[in-house]
Chain A
C-alpha cells in the first residue's frame, strides 16, 4: 500500500447564491509512495490548495479520506508539515524562535542545547547563518521562505506539503531557492506533496505531476511521469530531450482547460481514472 493515499476525496462548499452546494473537486484519488515528490498543477480555483489543506488536516473533506502510512489522518499534525505561500512566520519571533517553536513541539523531550543545535543545523542548511536573531520584517521574501523551509524540514515530517511556496518570491530568487530545495530533498528524500502554478518548477522538482481540470467540479485528469533522471539542476534539466515535450504537454493541457472557461471539465466523465502520461 502506498505511503500516502488520498482516497476518493471530494469537497463541496455551501453555495452563496443558494440552491445546493458547489463542488470544488470530485473523487480525487492519489497514491504517493514514500520518498516521492508529487506536484499538482491547475488553474486558480481548481481547488488544489484546498486539497493540500485537506491532506494537512486544516480543512475537512466532504467525502473520502486521507490515509498516511496505513492510518487515517484526520486533523492537523506534526507528521504533515506545511510550507505556506505567504510564509506564515510569526512576525513577533526571531528566525531562531520561529524554528525552535517547531522543533520543541516535535521533540518535547529534548533539552535546550539539543534544540539549539538542531535549529542551527537547519538554519545553516538554508544558508541563513547570521540571521538567527532577525525578525521576519527584516528578511526578503526569499529569506522568509528559506526560514519556512527550514522550519518544515527541521521537524522531519512524514510528508511535506508545499503550498505554492515560491509564488511570492521574485523570479531570480525563486530559481535559487528551487535549487536549494532540490538539494535539501536529495539529502532527506522526504515525501513531498506540492501545489504550484509554475510548470518549470514542477518538472524540476517532481517525480510525478498531476494535472487538474478547472473548477468547479475539477478532477485529476492526467498524471505525467517526469522521467528525467536525478540529480537534476536547473541548467541540466532543460537540456534533457524530454524536458520540452513534458513542458509543452503540460502547458497544452493548461491552455486547453483554460479555454474551456468555467466548467472546463464538462462533458468529461469524472469516474474515469486519470490518464498516465509518460515520455
Chain B
C-alpha cells in the first residue's frame, strides 16, 4: 500500500495536544463567583462553609482550596509543579516524593519482570527442544495462561504473607506466560540446519545454547518479552492499589482517598510516562538481540 502525506507529524501532535488541553480547560472552567442576588446571610453561610472566601477588594470569590468537579489542566499543572518540587522529600511513612514512588514501582516491576523472563526463557528452551515435554506441559500452560495475574493475589498474599513480595509475584505471574509460550515456539521452530551445524561442530551444551539456540530464537523471544512487558506493566498498578504498596499506582489510589482529583490525574500521567520510559529502554535492548534473515 502506498502511504500518502507529507508534513511534520509533530505539528499535528502539537495541534492535537492544544485542542485537547484547550477543550479540557474550557469544559472544566467554572464561572467566577457572582455575589449578586444572594443575601448577606447566605453569603456569610457560604463563607462559613468554606465555599467562598473574601477577596482583597472586599468582594467574594470561590475558595480555591475547595474545588468542585474535574480539575482543569492548570490545576493539574500546579499539582505537578508542587509534586515534582517535592520529588525527593519523604514527609511520612506513606507520603514519599514522586521520585521515590517511581523508583519503588520500577524496581517492583523490574524484579518481577526479570525473574519471570529468566524462568520463562529457561523453561521455554527446554520445552522448545523436547516435543514430548512440550506436549506434557502444554495443557498446564494453557490453563494457567489466561488467569488474570490479580486473581492470584489473595493466594499469594496468604502464602508469602508479605505484600512487598506479593506485588512482585503478581508482576511475575503477569509476565511469565507470554514469554514462556513464545520461547518454546521460537526454539522449536528454529531452522534445523542451525542445530545441524552446531552438532557437526560438536559445540558444547553451553555454547549450543548461547551461540545458536538463544540468538536464533531471539526475535521470537523478544516478541514474547514485549507482550509480557505490557501485561506486567498493566498488572503492577492495580497490584499496588490493592496491596497498599507505595508506588505510582498506589499514588493514584491515595489521591482518590484524599479526594484530590488533580492528584489522581497527575498520578495517571506519571504511570504513562513511566511506561513510555520503560518501553523505550526495552526497545533499545530488543534491537541489540534481533537479526534479519
Q: Is A106 touching B201 in the complex (CB atoms < 8 A)?
A: yes
Q: With an 8 A cutoff between CB atoms, is B215 at the interface? A: yes
A114 nearest CB across to chain B (Å): 17
Q: With an 8 A cutoff between CB atoms, is B267 at the interface? A: no
Q: Is A88 touching B197 in the complex (CB atoms < 8 A)?
A: yes
Q: Is A102 touching B201 in the complex (CB atoms < 8 A)?
A: yes
B212 nearest CB neighbor, chain A only? A90
Q: Which of B202-226 contact A (CB under 8 A)?
A: 202-203, 211-212, 215-216, 218
B285 nearest CB across to chain A (Å): 15
Q: How far is A80 from B197 in the complex, measured between Cα atoms in Å?
A: 11
Q: Is A76 touching B216 in the complex (CB atoms < 8 A)?
A: no
Report the interface size for chain B: residues with CB under 8 A from the other chain.
18
Q: Is B196 touching A101 in the complex (CB atoms < 8 A)?
A: no
Q: Is B200 touching A56 in the complex (CB atoms < 8 A)?
A: yes
Which residues of chain A come closer than 8 Å to B215, judged between CB atoms? 90, 92-93
Interface SS of A by simple majority: loop
Most buried by A among B193, B197, B203, B211: B197
B38 nearest CB across to chain A (Å): 76
Q: Is A90 touching B200 in the complex (CB atoms < 8 A)?
A: no
Q: With an 8 A cutoff between CB atoms, is B90 at the interface? A: no
**Contact A88:B196 (CB < 8 A) given known A77-B202, A101-B201, A106-B201:** yes
Q: Is B212 touching A81 in the complex (CB atoms < 8 A)?
A: no
Q: Is B293 touching A81 in the complex (CB atoms < 8 A)?
A: no
Q: Is B293 touching A90 in the complex (CB atoms < 8 A)?
A: no
B288 nearest CB across to chain A (Å): 11
**Contact A105:B292 (CB < 8 A) given known A90-B194, A90-B212, A90-B216:** no
Q: Is A82 touching B292 in the complex (CB atoms < 8 A)?
A: no
- Across the interface, A58 reaches (CB within 8 A) one of B196, B211, B293, namely B196
B293 nearest CB neighbor, chain A only? A91
Which residues of chain A come closer than 8 Å to B212, judged between CB atoms? 90
- Across the interface, A92 reaches (CB within 8 A) one of B196, B202, B203, B218, namely B218
B219 nearest CB neighbor, chain A only? A92
A107 nearest CB across to chain B (Å): 11
Q: Is A58 touching B201 in the complex (CB atoms < 8 A)?
A: no
Which residues of chain B come closer than 8 Å to A247, judged between CB atoms? none
Q: With an 8 A cutoff between CB atoms, is A167 at the interface? A: no
Report the interface size for chain A: residues with CB under 8 A from the other chain.
25
A203 nearest CB across to chain B (Å): 28
B196 nearest CB neighbor, chain A only? A58
B212 nearest CB across to chain A (Å): 7
Q: Is A92 touching B200 in the complex (CB atoms < 8 A)?
A: no
Which residues of chain B come closer than 8 Å to A136, judged between CB atoms? 293
Q: How far is A170 from B67 in the complex, measured between Cα atoms in Å?
A: 76
Contact flags (1/0) for B10-29 with A, using CB distance below 8 Å? 00000000000000000000
Which residues of chain B come closer than 8 Å to A90, judged between CB atoms? 194, 197, 211-212, 215-216
- Across the interface, B202 reaches (CB within 8 A) one of A56, A91, A93, A105, namely A105
Q: With an 8 A cutoff between CB atoms, is B291 at the interface? A: yes
Q: Is B216 touching A92 in the complex (CB atoms < 8 A)?
A: yes
Q: With an 8 A cutoff between CB atoms, is B199 at the interface? A: yes
User: Which A-B residue pairs are the 10 nearest by beta carbons?
Assistant: A88-B193, A105-B201, A92-B291, A76-B199, A92-B215, A76-B200, A137-B292, A91-B293, A91-B291, A58-B196
A-B contact pairs, 28 of them (CB 8 A): A56-B196, A56-B200, A57-B200, A58-B196, A75-B199, A76-B196, A76-B199, A76-B200, A77-B200, A77-B202, A78-B200, A78-B202, A81-B200, A82-B196, A84-B193, A84-B196, A88-B196, A90-B194, A90-B211, A91-B291, A92-B291, A101-B201, A101-B203, A101-B211, A102-B197, A136-B293, A137-B292, A137-B293
* Chain B residues packing against A (C-beta within 8 Å): 191, 193-194, 196-197, 199-203, 211-212, 215-216, 218, 291-293
